[in-house]
Structures are given as C-alpha cells and as structure tokens.
Structure 1
C-alpha cells in the first residue's frame, strides 16, 4: 500500500483525484526552496477554512436554535482555534505525509503545529473539491466526533444555571433546585445524572462527567423546554379568526 493510500485509509476517504491530496500536503517551503514555481497548499487552506466555518456554523445553528449570534460565534471560535486544528492534523497523521523542504524537515516541520493546522484545513479544501460540500461536511463532523460540542464548548454558549434562574425568577421568586439522582461508572470515569425542579415540578434531567456538568446540562435542557413553551404560536398554526376590515 502506498503512503497516500495508507493515509486515505486512515482518513476514511478515498480521493478520486489523488493530486488534490498531494497538493494539500505540500508545504509552502517546497516552493520557496525550488527554483521552479511549484504549487503548495495555501490556496487549499484558504478554501478549507471557509468549508470548515460553514460546516460548523450550520451544525451550531441547527443544534442550538435558542442562541443568538454572539454565543454561537464564541463556540465556533473555540472549535476552530489553531491549537485544535493542529491536533486534528496530528491525530489524522498528516505530519508523516507532509511534503517539506529540506530546511523545514531539519527544523522539525512535521511536528510544527502551524504546519499541521494548515495541512488539515488544506485537506478539507481538497475533500470539498474532490467530493463536494456534503462529503466534506460529513468528514468534518466525523473528525470532530459525536461529542465535538462537548463540555469544552457548551460553557461558551451560556451560563445555563444562571439563565434558568433569571428566566424562572422573572415569573416566581422561587429558585430552581438541583438534585443528583445517580452516579454510575468506575471512579475514574463517573457519569452523574441530575434533576432540576421548580415549585416541586421536575423540569428536566441532565448528565455529565461531574455534578456541576450534570446540573448545567439539566438547566440547559430545562431552558430549551421552557423557551419552546414560551415561544409564540406561528401564524400557520394559529387558530384565531382573522379580523375583517
């Protein structure tokens, strides 16, 4: 199996045009070192950045309908910071396949975070050109994993406990009460479940790796439920009789 074939197997995506993958792996230092004007991955990086932004923006938009632009922008920034992108490139094994100049190779270019982040974005651009946006989007969501909107990102969206308290106390002086109802799993990997109640009524449940995280998840679920209940009925579902002039 060739090096590029092995990389494609690891990525879970086979290029129809392997030249795109090779270009995504070509560091700009190669063009600087060669007398001939060689192509490198910066244009693909530019394209891949836009593809990544759109894919994650859409995912955030769909998963968090209650949040406005500010929190969603912060969450997206958390997901696409350079350190995170370098880690994705490192985990994908891109460093082993980078095409570098001799000087860049000698100075540890294969492990350089900036080179790995750039190559990862260039890879996304290459997949987009090779297979289209939906294929690139599926790859992005798979790479970020089922839990890419994890406890590292959710706090960027809101302070759910504080927001829930404000929401409820605008209607009642009583504060919400949280109760941890279960803790499962081994000591090094515990999972807690929490109930949030208000006025003796269970509003929602949430789970997390800590009691605090479980409470936050319960508050977030309660907020989503309460906001849906408080949302105005859409015009298409309204049963009111229109007034005549």
Structure 2
C-alpha cells in the first residue's frame, strides 16, 4: 500500500520513511473506528511505551553518569508521562492524521491528551517494527530534543512540590478551584486557581483540568520561591 498525502506528510514530519506503510496506518487508528479488517493502535501503544522507556533510560544514564537512581527516576517519569507524549504529538501535529470514529471526532478526540499520548506511543512502535531499534531511538531523541536536556527542571511534580512547601510551613494543603470554562463542549478550556491559606494564589488555563492545575501550581511555586507571593 501507499501512504495517503496526509500520512506521507506526517511521515516526513517525524523523519521516518516507512517500508511498511500499513504500520503507520495502524498506529493512527483509534479503537473507535477499528474493525476486524482495520486493527486499532492499542497493541502498538503497549509496545511503544516500552521502547520509549528504554530509549529514555539510556539517554538519561548517558547524560548524567553520576546521577543516582533516586535522581534519575523523576527525570524518567517526566520524559515518558502521557502529558509529554501528547506535547510531542502536538509538535508533529499527530492529531490531524488520527483515524477516529464519528463520536470521538465530535467530542474533540484530535485534541484529547490521552488520545494524543497513546497515539504517539503507537507511532514509536510502528517506527520500531518498521526500521528497528536504532530508527526508533533516532526519532525519539530528535522529537524529544531539548526536553531531555531540561528535564531536571521539568521533573518536579508541581502540585506535589507546592503541597510539600505548604506543609513545611504548617499550612493546609493547597485548594484548586475551577473558576472558568470556555470553548465548545468538544474542546473546553479550563481556568483553575490554586490558593494557599496565607492568601497566595495563581491561576492558569489549559485544555485539561489536570494540566491547568499543574500549570497554576508551577506558577505559584515560582512566585513563592522568588519571594513575590
């Protein structure tokens, strides 16, 4: 088979020319549109998650030869978590080529973090099966790029860190309040405010409530650490 124009353009964006185009087609096929003759990407997602993990473990060990397991673990988690995979998927516009059922399309599936993250893992598996481990590693390192170098700053879970900051000062845990919601039902944008009992607060907007909470917590932490809260 030959890739359609949009899938060929996607193949160019990720930098891999498929010898077996059917692998890429399967990688972008969601369960909502699968059939006995059109398998979905769930098995590829399972494999891609493991390939990504091995590549990131190798990269982190090579980048910091003195790091302990306790230092490496949060960095690893930051690089392989669903939010990061979804961010990479947006970077290469994976959402534009996802094959979705009508209901999933109507509910904004092309923008959903879980679908994008799962799809990116499936694409990794497709490249691995098509070109081998070296091809998959080269693509992952290229697409993850600067995230690997800056992972130390990104590895902190902002909500956990903010809660630890509050508890260390005898405060109650932070409170997260949804203060706004905009956009259509299939692609909502949430505004969330995080508040501490000392009056410090920050807000953020994102397409997922969890991401808005994390972004708000990070903003407040940065302000507190800079002494500006």
Scaled by the length of structure 1, what TM-score is found? 0.59
Instruction: Please report the RMSD computed on the Cα atoms of aligned residues, expressed in angstroms.
Output: 1.8
Once residues 47 and 127 of structure 1 are traced to their aligned partners in structure 2, the CA distance between those partners, rounded to angstroms, is 11
Counting matched residue pairs gives 153
2:27/2:44 contact within 8 Å kept: yes
Query: For the pair shown, which has the larger CA radius of gyration, 1 or 2?
Result: 1
SS at match of 2:148: coil
2:86/2:114 contact within 8 Å kept: yes
Aligned partner of 2:90 in structure 1 is 90
1:52/1:124 contact within 8 Å kept: yes
Scaled by the length of structure 2, what TM-score is found? 0.63
Aligned partner of 1:79 in structure 2 is 79
Once residues 37 and 12 of structure 2 are traced to their aligned partners in structure 1, the CA distance between those partners, rounded to angstroms, is 31
Once residues 156 and 112 of structure 1 are traced to their aligned partners in structure 2, the CA distance between those partners, rounded to angstroms, is 22
SS at match of 1:77: helix
Alpha carbons of structure 1 residues 151 and 10: separation in structure 2 relative to 1, 3 Å: closer
Give runs of ≥4 in structure 1 deviating > 6 Å: none
1:131 aligns with 2:131: yes
Once residues 113 and 95 of structure 2 are traced to their aligned partners in structure 1, the CA distance between those partners, rounded to angstroms, is 10
Once residues 144 and 127 of structure 1 are traced to their aligned partners in structure 2, the CA distance between those partners, rounded to angstroms, is 15
Alpha carbons of structure 1 residues 134 and 38: separation in structure 2 relative to 1, 3 Å: same
2:13/2:92 contact within 8 Å kept: yes
- 1:17 deviates by 0.5
2:95/2:110 contact within 8 Å kept: yes
Once residues 53 and 112 of structure 2 are traced to their aligned partners in structure 1, the CA distance between those partners, rounded to angstroms, is 23
Aligned partner of 1:107 in structure 2 is 107
Once residues 25 and 18 of structure 1 are traced to their aligned partners in structure 2, the CA distance between those partners, rounded to angstroms, is 11
Aligned partner of 2:20 in structure 1 is 17
